[in-house]
């Protein structure tokens, strides 16, 4: 039997999906599992999209242009204009999800062995895209103590080698929910400019900024117009993850020309997803207002609830729909598995993502989990109740251990 490649072996399994078999087993036992582990929102896709798709009248479901339908790209350019991002449809390649935009971006800009610096914790699949492109990830650890703010720029400076080709940020952040300030982005701009690096900015959660904060796009950083590559997606914006439509956006026409060759090889992004995405451009503002209101309420319930549990620390996220929480536990992988395998409270349990998968530095994230507030408020309240109960009896808990030893 022939051997699979080293790349195939190195490729990390999804830390978010790897606990699925335990969740399935819990459900087989008749338990309710509250899924706070994945970024699949329960929010409805805009009605305008659902209605519009029923009216699509095609005779042949054809390939589109490899860069995506021109009408959709022109519509997208107008969408960005609303956020003060001035681009044309020639700066856009429509991709199969934000995932493909990152793969094309890495392959276009970095060679085998080149390095990309990423503040950690970061979206776990960046690791997978790096393996696919043969790129080395150099993490810089952000701290839960200041809500995962951008690490000091000197820390970036220390990591730069002749192999460093890019910095990648996610803003607002998955898994941290941290929203970078203009000042933080300008500090990044300076180092990007100094070393002439690419700056990949994953801004797929743009719509989800809270407490009056406005997102500042890396595309608007002056002086690095040819360095910035925006990665975007309709998945979260319109709650249509299954459309698999994203975009790679840059004013750097060399990057566009090269990335388009990768696009041509795979022929075109999905036709129905593009149609849905183009319809979605007309989603009324009230949709986003309602969604943001809902997320803010959920966030407050979740964060306040978590912080009331003894030994738990959960910084309040400024955007996206995730929160990172430090728990009084020995090992987040073990704990999340134990929650599914061993624990139940009123015949229910909670599924979370162990934070270890969001760190590239080995050993970090052992006492942290990511929770996605993608369930309704009642489910979130119930989840907190379950987690509180679980932390009281988890064998690997790290507080009150002595006390327990004496009471037993």
> Using CB under 8 A, which residues numbered 237 to 276 contact a second copy?
239-244, 252, 254-255, 258-259, 261-262, 264-273, 276
Return all residues near 36 (Cβ < 8 A) that are at least 6 apart: 350, 351, 352, 371, 372, 373, 374, 375, 380, 383
337 contributes a contact to a second copy by CB under 8 A: no
Give the phi and the psi of residue 201 in degrees, each rounded to 5. Answer: -120, 110
Please give the residues from 359 up to 378 whose contact with a second copy meets the rule CB under 8 A: none
> For the chain, how far is it from start to end, CA to CA, in angstroms?
55
134 contributes a contact to a second copy by CB under 8 A: yes
Task: Tell me if 292 sits within 8 A of 206, measured CB to CB.
Answer: no
The residue written with tokens 């006390």 in the block is 403
153 vs 260, beta carbon nearer a second copy: 260
198 vs 338, beta carbon nearer a second copy: 198
Tokens read off for 389: 């109960």
Please give the residues from 171 up to 230 whose contact with a second copy meets the rule CB under 8 A: 196-198, 226-227
Give the phi and the psi of residue 387 in degrees, each rounded to 5. Answer: -65, -40
Task: Tell me if 373 sits within 8 A of 295, measured CB to CB.
Answer: yes
58 vs 402, beta carbon nearer a second copy: 58
Q: What is the secondary structure of 156-181 as a DSSP string? A: HHHH--TTEEEEEEESS-TTT-----
132 vs 292, beta carbon nearer a second copy: 132
Least separation in angstroms between CB 332 and a second copy? 19
Tokens read off for 333: 């992988």
Please give the residues from 32 up to 51 whose contact with a second copy meets the rule CB under 8 A: 38, 40-45, 49-50
14 vs 400, beta carbon nearer a second copy: 14
How far is Cα 322 from Cα 310, in angstroms, rounded to an integer? Answer: 21
How far is Cα 394 from Cα 53, in angstroms, rounded to an integer? Answer: 48
Least separation in angstroms between CB 44 and a second copy? 5
Please give the residues from 6 up to 35 whose contact with a second copy meets the rule CB under 8 A: 6-9, 11-14, 17
Least separation in angstroms between CB 190 and a second copy? 15
146 vs 161, beta carbon nearer a second copy: 161
128 vs 315, beta carbon nearer a second copy: 128
Please give the residues from 74 up to 133 whose contact with a second copy meets the rule CB under 8 A: 96-97, 99-100, 103, 107-112, 114, 125, 128-129, 132-133
Distances (CA, A) of 246 to 28, 201, 301: 36, 13, 31
Chosen residue from 31, 35, 48, 66 binding a second copy by CB under 8 A: 66
Least separation in angstroms between CB 223 and a second copy? 12
Task: Tell me if 38 sits within 8 A of 374, measured CB to CB.
Answer: yes
Q: Where are the beta strands (DSSP E) in 297-379?
A: 322-326, 348-351, 353-354, 368-372
Least separation in angstroms between CB 95 and a second copy? 10
14 vs 297, beta carbon nearer a second copy: 14
64 vs 176, beta carbon nearer a second copy: 64
Tokens read off for 354: 């162990």
Least separation in angstroms between CB 378 and a second copy? 18
Q: At what angle do helices 125-133 and 97-109 cross, to 10 degrees?
A: 40
Least separation in angstroms between CB 11 and a second copy? 4
60 vs 408, beta carbon nearer a second copy: 60
Least separation in angstroms between CB 314 and a second copy? 26
Which one, of 377, 404, 380, lies nearest residue 392 by Cα? 404
Least separation in angstroms between CB 227 and a second copy? 6
Least separation in angstroms between CB 69 and a second copy? 10
| Torsion of the alpha carbons at 168, 171, 173 and 177, rounded to the nearest 10 | 160
Number of chain residues interacting with a second copy (CB under 8 A): 81
Please give the residues from 292 up to 331 whose contact with a second copy meets the rule CB under 8 A: none
Least separation in angstroms between CB 85 and a second copy? 20
How far is Cα 376 from Cα 403, in angstroms, rounded to an integer? Answer: 36
152 vs 223, beta carbon nearer a second copy: 223
């Amino acid at each position: 039997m022939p051997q699979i490649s080293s790349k195939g072996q190195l490729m990390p399994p999804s830390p978010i999906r790897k606990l699925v078999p335990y969740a399935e087993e819990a459900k087989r036992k008749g338990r309710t599992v509250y899924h706070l582990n994945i970024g699949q929102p329960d929010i409805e896709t805009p009605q305008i999209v659902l209605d519009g798709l029923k009216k699509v009248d095609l005779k042949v479901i054809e390939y589109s242009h490899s860069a995506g339908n021109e009408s959709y790209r022109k519509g997208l350019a107008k969408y960005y204009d609303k956020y003060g991002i001035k681009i044309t449809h020639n700066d856009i390649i429509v991709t199969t999800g934000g995932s493909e935009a990152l793969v094309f971006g890495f392959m276009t800009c970095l060679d085998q062995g080149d390095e990309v610096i990423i503040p950690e914790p970061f979206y776990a699949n960046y690791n997978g895209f790096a393996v696919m492109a043969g790129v080395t990830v150099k993490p810089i650890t952000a701290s839960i103590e200041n809500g995962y703010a951008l690490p000091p720029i000197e820390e970036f400076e220390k990591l730069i080698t002749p192999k460093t080709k890019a910095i990648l940020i996610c803003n607002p952040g998955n898994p941290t929910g941290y929203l970078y300030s203009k000042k933080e982005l300008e500090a990044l701009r300076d180092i990007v400019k100094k070393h002439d690096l690419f700056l990949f900015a994953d801004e797929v959660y743009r719509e989800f900024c809270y407490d009056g904060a406005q997102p500042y796009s890396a595309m608007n950083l002056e002086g690095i117009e040819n360095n910035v590559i925006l990665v975007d997606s309709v998945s979260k914006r319109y709650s249509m993850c299954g459309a698999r439509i994203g975009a790679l956006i840059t004013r750097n026409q060399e990057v566009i020309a090269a990335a388009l060759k990768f696009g041509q090889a795979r022929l075109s992004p999905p036709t129905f997803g593009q149609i849905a995405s183009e319809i979605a451009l007309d989603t009324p503002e009230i949709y986003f207002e309602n969604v943001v209101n809902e997320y803010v309420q959920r966030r407050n319930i979740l964060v306040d609830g978590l912080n009331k549990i003894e030994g738990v620390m959960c910084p309040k996220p400024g955007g996206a729909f995730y929160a990172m929480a430090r728990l009084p536990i020995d090992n987040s992988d073990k704990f999340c598995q134990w929650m599914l395998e061993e624990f139940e409270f009123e015949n229910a349990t909670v599924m979370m993502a162990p934070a270890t998968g969001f760190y590239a530095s080995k050993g970090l994230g052992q006492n942290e989990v990511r929770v996605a507030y993608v369930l309704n408020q009642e489910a979130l309240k119930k989840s907190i109740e379950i987690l509180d109960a679980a932390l009281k009896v988890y064998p690997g808990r790290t507080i009150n251990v002595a006390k327990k030893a004496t009471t037993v």
